[in-house]
Amino acid sequence: MTKAPPVNKTPLDKRSRELRCQIIRMLQKGGRGHVGSAFSLVEMLRVLYDDVLRFDPKNPRSPQRDRFILSKGHGCLALYVLLAEKGFFPEAELWKFCKPDGMLGGHPEYGKVPGIEASTGSLGHGLPIGVGFALNAKCSKANYRTFVICSDGESNEGSLWEAALCASKHKLSDLTVLVDYNKQQSYSTTYEVLDLEPYADKWRAFGFAVEEVDGHDVAQIRAACKRLPLEPGKPSAIICHTIKGKGISFVENNLNWHHKNKVSDDEVKNLLAELEVKE
């Protein structure tokens, strides 16, 4: 079994801190959000949108685009920040998060938000949809790739593993699953709720090529993505070992920050202070 890479001391560079600051500002404006889940995703999304995905923000439905699904839709704060940065919609929309006059809700909504390929948040749905995208590409001989980010808690869902079996059967080598393995769920650890280990071996048993990386190390994630597919004729799974709430000492691994529906000005001040961006 591959030894999980250490993540506890992974430093955040200026860009990663700036992205988290934007998430906090959204949280402040909207008054709610899944903070811990968004923070564990930042580096994964950053690599995908900076270095991997083919997309055209001026033509979000371009047939040549790669398809990306955030199956753990509750982590959407991080996704919205990247979509705004890449030009899918104006930054001003971020400040209307969860407001009646805004389009950004607590979970991504297909058909409403440019750049969103599927409405997600009910866990276990993203990978089945992604398998459908990848099957379509294979049958129609299209050259787009499909990427899905799942959560570890989401791996409790049988629909995820049914989809994995289907992906393996059809040899969907242009399908990649990235797992946000922060080892926590909404109310406890994954070990206590439903132990997933040996997790990497489970994906291998379902026919995936697997690599484990430090999910906050941009270079490691980027290097794994550059090797896709990890093995010819197999779908790929990149297991990203992360920390829920990464970047804020009092948020990391603190389940009280899984979701916040009320955030004080002092809390926002303290959050931003820990992420102070220095030149």
Q: Structural domain boundaries of the chain?
A: 14-55+64-252+266-274
% of residues, the chain, pLDDT over 70: 96
Domain topology for 14-55+64-252+266-274: Rossmann fold (3.40.50)
Q: What's the whole-number mean pLDDT along residues 60-88?
A: 97
Window from 89-98, 116-125, 172-181, 267-276 with minimum mean pLDDT: 267-276
Instruction: Give 9's pLDDT tier (boundaries 50, 70, 90).
Output: confident
Query: Of 232, 240, 238, which Cα lies nearest the Cα of 174?
Result: 232
The pTM for the full model equals 0.94
Give the span between the Cα atoms of 161 and 112, in whole angstroms: 29
Mean pLDDT (whole number) for 163-188: 96
- pLDDT confidence band for 6 (50 / 70 / 90): low
The residue type found at 77 is: L
More confident site: 258 or 201? 201
**Res 279: pLDDT:** 39
> Maximum distance among all alpha carbons in the chain?
54
State pLDDT tens for residues 129-143: 999 999 999 999 999
pLDDT tens per residue across span 12-38: 999 999 999 999 999 988 888 888 899
